[in-house]
């Protein structure tokens, strides 16, 4: 007994880092991390020395030089006299635009397809299977090029909308035009008082969120289910509509119109953007559908039978019983698909869409000859986007996971 007490009172010895199982794993990880960082430092130092020997020391000053080229799709103001740094920002915003639109569209389509693939209707289930297998087993680059070719070859030219003998016409009350040069949709114009409408709209979204939380707590406490959909819809629509008319309709629309040889006004969305967006969305949706299907099938069939025995309708059973439990299986692969979609957007150069790969990793790299700097910045952009998406989705995954009592 005395020997054991003396051993416990003994001080820490360096040999414990190797021979004591309490510290050995940490020691191995620390040594591995140090060796890894030393290897990275050696590679960077070696690259810097080689660049200096070639007369091209590592420098990012080229970002402040005039770019000298135009970008066909812009979310912020830019011209050929802007700097390479601003060109990179424009390309980065274009990448984020495609990624955001693609993730939203792919999620909606993937969830619908995944649920329909489990339909008891044989035709519907087989059609969904054909869609999934067709898109998953063809490279996404081919889908991007195919969509671009369809838009160019099948859509009318702007001149086809002109005159009494026009062979094409605008849709949605002459507010939207689909041409082989791109899509033209109305542009919102903001006048005095529009900020009030926007603030009311944002407050409506906050009200929907708070009402949803209150309704869930009330249901957990009393078991009573409120018609939350219609109440949320009223909160979403009524305040904003009232503010819109009270402030004198401060938000109007600028419609595209054919002038000369092309349309002017409105928002111009290039065919390359639409082709890239649809191809990435439909391609990724096929993988998301499989994740949704596997998540639903992971829920015990007894859960469904119990809900039906209590008189719960199939739609409510899917919404309240099956999907909440299936999310723990769906979310992890969904994160991977979001990251894949974001990285696959780098294929945009195939159809002439100027994303960050086309600007910073393409024209800027070729014009300045700064390969190392451009590629490092490009890798940092994709790494930052991917880690941000992963962090948000991991937070959501922890928020919705099943919690034991």
Looking at residue 327, which CATH number applies to its domain?
1.10.3720.10
Instruction: Please report which confidence band the pLDDT of residue 405 belongs to, taking 50, 70 and 90 as the band edges.
Output: low
- C-beta separation of 328 from 292 below 8 A: no
43 and 91 share a domain?
no
Q: Which of 6, 26, 51 is the last residue of a domain?
A: 51
In the predicted structure, residue 20 carries a pLDDT above the cut 60: yes
Q: Is residue 116 part of a domain?
A: yes
378 and 237 share a domain?
no
Helices 140-154 + 271-298 axis angle, to 10: 130
295 and 192 share a domain?
no
Distance CA 99, CA 352 (A): 17
Q: Is residue 372 part of a domain?
A: yes
212 and 142 share a domain?
no
Tens-place pLDDT, residues 161-177? 887 777 778 888 888 88
Strand partners, 176: 171
According to DSSP, the β-strands at 177-179 and 182-185 are antiparallel
In the predicted structure, residue 14 carries a pLDDT above the cut 90: no
Q: Is 215 exposed, middle or buried (0-12, 13-18, 19+ CB in 10 A)?
A: middle
Considering its fold, how many domains does the chain have in total? Answer: 3
231 and 275 share a domain?
no
pTM higher than 0.85, yes or no? no
Tens-place pLDDT, residues 67-120? 888 888 888 888 888 899 999 999 999 999 999 999 999 999 999 999 899 888
139 and 223 share a domain?
no
The enclosing H or E element of 257 equals strand 257-259
What are residue 182's phi and psi, to 5 degrees?
A: 155, 180
CA-closest candidate to residue 268, choices 185, 190, 161, 162:
185
Instruction: Please report which confidence band the pLDDT of residue 144 belongs to, taking 50, 70 and 90 as the band edges.
Output: very high
CA-closest candidate to residue 235, choices 257, 263, 203, 261:
203
219 and 292 share a domain?
no
What are residue 179's phi and psi, to 5 degrees?
A: -130, 170
The rounded mean pLDDT for the chain is 86
- C-beta separation of 254 from 265 below 8 A: yes
311 and 378 share a domain?
yes
Instruction: Please report which confidence band the pLDDT of residue 53 belongs to, taking 50, 70 and 90 as the band edges.
Output: confident
CA-closest candidate to residue 353, choices 154, 178, 103, 151:
151
246 and 274 share a domain?
no
In the predicted structure, residue 231 carries a pLDDT above the cut 50: yes
DSSP-H helix ranges across 299-370? 301-309, 314-317, 323-344, 356-358, 364-368
Return the pLDDT at 404: 56
Out of 1-15, 194-208, 321-335, 364-378, the most confident range is: 194-208
In the predicted structure, residue 375 carries a pLDDT above the cut 80: yes
User: Cα 239 to chain center, whole Å?
Assistant: 29
117 and 193 share a domain?
no
Q: Is residue 131 part of a domain?
A: yes
Return the pLDDT at 1: 47
- C-beta separation of 348 from 98 below 8 A: yes
| Domain membership of residue 340 as a residue range | 87-166+270-400
Q: Is residue 18 part of a domain?
A: yes
Mean pLDDT of 50-66: 82
Q: Is residue 7 part of a domain?
A: no
- C-beta separation of 79 from 254 below 8 A: no
What are residue 259's phi and psi, to 5 degrees?
A: -135, 120
Return the pLDDT at 402: 63
307 and 387 share a domain?
yes
Q: Is residue 390 part of a domain?
A: yes
Q: Is residue 56 part of a domain?
A: no
In the predicted structure, residue 217 carries a pLDDT above the cut 90: no
- C-beta separation of 268 from 184 below 8 A: yes
281 and 396 share a domain?
yes
Instruction: Please report which confidence band the pLDDT of residue 264 belongs to, taking 50, 70 and 90 as the band edges.
Output: confident
Q: Is residue 304 part of a domain?
A: yes
């Amino acid at each position: 007994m005395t020997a054991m007490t003396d051993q416990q009172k003994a001080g820490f010895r360096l040999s414990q880092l190797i021979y004591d199982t309490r510290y050995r794993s940490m020691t191995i990880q620390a040594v591995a991390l140090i060796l890894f960082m030393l290897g990275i430092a050696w590679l960077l130092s070696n690259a810097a020395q080689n660049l200096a020997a070639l007369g091209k020391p590592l420098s990012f000053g080229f970002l402040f030089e005039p770019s000298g080229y135009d970008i066909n799709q812009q979310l912020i103001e830019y011209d050929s006299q802007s700097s390479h740094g601003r060109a990179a920002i424009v390309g980065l915003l274009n990448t984020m635009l495609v990624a955001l639109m693609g993730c939203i569209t792919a999620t909606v389509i993937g969830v619908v397809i995944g649920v329909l693939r489990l339909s008891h209707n044989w035709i519907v289930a087989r059609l969904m299977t054909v869609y999934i297998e067709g898109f998953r087993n063809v490279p996404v680059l081919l889908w991007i090029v195919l969509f671009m070719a369809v838009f160019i070859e099948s859509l009318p030219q702007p001149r086809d909308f002109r005159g009494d003998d026009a062979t094409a016409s605008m849709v949605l009350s002459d507010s939207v035009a689909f041409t082989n040069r791109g899509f033209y949709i109305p542009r919102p114009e903001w006048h005095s008082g529009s900020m009030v409408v926007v603030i009311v709209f944002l407050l409506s979204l906050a009200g929907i969120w708070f009402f949803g939380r209150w309704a869930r707590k009330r249901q957990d406490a009393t078991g009573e289910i409120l018609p939350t959909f219609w109440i949320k819809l009223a909160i979403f629509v009524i305040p904003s509509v009232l503010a819109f008319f009270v402030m004198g309709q401060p938000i109007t629309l600028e419609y595209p119109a054919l002038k000369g040889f092309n349309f002017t006004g409105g928002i111009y969305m290039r065919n390359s953007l639409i082709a890239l967006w649809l191809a990435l969305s439909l391609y990724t949706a096929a993988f998301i559908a499989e994740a949704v299907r596997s998540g639903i099938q992971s829920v015990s069939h007894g859960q469904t039978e119990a809900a039906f025995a209590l008189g719960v309708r199939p739609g409510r059973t899917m919404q309240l019983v099956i999907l909440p439990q299936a999310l723990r299986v769906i979310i992890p692969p969904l994160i991977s698909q979001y990251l894949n979609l974001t990285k696959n957007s780098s294929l945009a150069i195939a159809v002439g869409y100027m994303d960050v790969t086309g600007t910073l990793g393409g024209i800027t790299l070729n014009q300045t000859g700064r390969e190392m700097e451009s590629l490092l910045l490009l890798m940092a952009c994709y790494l930052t986007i991917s880690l941000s998406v992963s962090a948000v989705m991991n937070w959501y995954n922890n928020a919705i996971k099943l919690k034991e009592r």
